Amino acid sequence: MKFFMLNGWAYKAKAVIDHILIDPHLPDNFWTTPIRDCTTEELEKWEGLPFIITFGDHFSGYCLNREARDRPTLLHASNDLAEVIKCQVSLGCCDQSMNRLELIGGDFK
């Protein structure tokens, strides 16, 4: 895992590609906590930030965007990482001017 910074928040993830976190370390109960029960801090840190979870050779792109009230929204899934990234970018999930994740130590991908 590597550390990245965005807007004063620190994130731990396997990598960042095209401003998208790959396999980020997520808060406890991230998948099961309804958005209305998230803390202000959790929402400030995670809302609108795209990320991808890998399962072997399968990639699932998510965003906590309030389309689903009780979990992050699955935006696209595929065996092609580039396809998932392209989908997230085309859906406007990756505002290139905002999502400037900076690597803190290690290699930037």
The torsion angles phi and psi of 7, rounded to 5 degrees, stand at 50, 40
**Residue 38 maps to a domain:** yes
Is 37's pLDDT higher than 80? yes
Mean pLDDT of 34-40: 88
Q: How far is CA 51 from the centre of its chain?
A: 2
How far is 40 from 42, CA to CA, in rounded Å? 6
**Residue 17 maps to a domain:** yes
**Residue 109 maps to a domain:** no
3-state secondary structure of 19: coil
**Residue 74 maps to a domain:** yes
Question: Can you give the pLDDT at residue 108?
Answer: 44
Q: Which domain holds residue 12?
A: 2-104
pLDDT digits (tens, 9 = 90+) for 62-87: 988 877 677 888 999 999 999 999 99
Report the number of distinct structural domains present in the chain: 1
Highest mean pLDDT pick, 58-62, 63-67, 92-96: 58-62
Say what the pTM is: 0.83
